[in-house]
Amino acid sequence: MKLIFLGPPGAGKGTLADLAVDELKLPHISTGDLFRAAVKDGTPLGLKVKDILASGGLVPDDLTIALVRERLAQPDAARGWILDGFPRTIPQAEALEALEPADKAVNFDVPDNIVVDRLSTRRVCRACGKIYNVKGMPPKKEGVCDVCGGEVYTRDDDKESSIRTRLENYRKQTEPLIAWFGGRGKLVTIDGTGGPAAVLERFRKALGL
Out of 104, 155, 159, 186, the active site residue is: 155
Q: Helix 61-72 to helix 90-99 angle, to the nearest 10 degrees?
A: 30
Out of 88, 118, 123, 202, the active site residue is: 88
Per the CB < 8 A criterion, the answer to whether 59 and 46 are in contact is no
**C-beta neighbour count of 62 within 10 angstroms:** 11
118 catalytic per annotation: no
184 catalytic per annotation: no
* DSSP assignment string, 43-68: -HHHHHHHHHHHHT-PPPHHHHHHHH
Out of 13, 36, 118, 202, the active site residue is: 13
Q: Strand 81-84 and strand 2-6: pairing? A: parallel
122 catalytic per annotation: yes
Out of 71, 122, 123, 202, the active site residue is: 122
- As a whole number of angstroms, the distance between CA 156 and CA 139 comes to 19
- As a whole number of angstroms, the distance between CA 169 and CA 13 comes to 17
Question: Any alpha helices (H) in 56-157, and if so which ranges?
Answer: 61-72, 90-99, 112-120
- As a whole number of angstroms, the distance between CA 40 and CA 118 comes to 24
88 catalytic per annotation: yes
Out of 36, 71, 123, 166, the active site residue is: 166
155 catalytic per annotation: yes
Point out the residues that are catalytic: 13, 88, 122, 155, 166
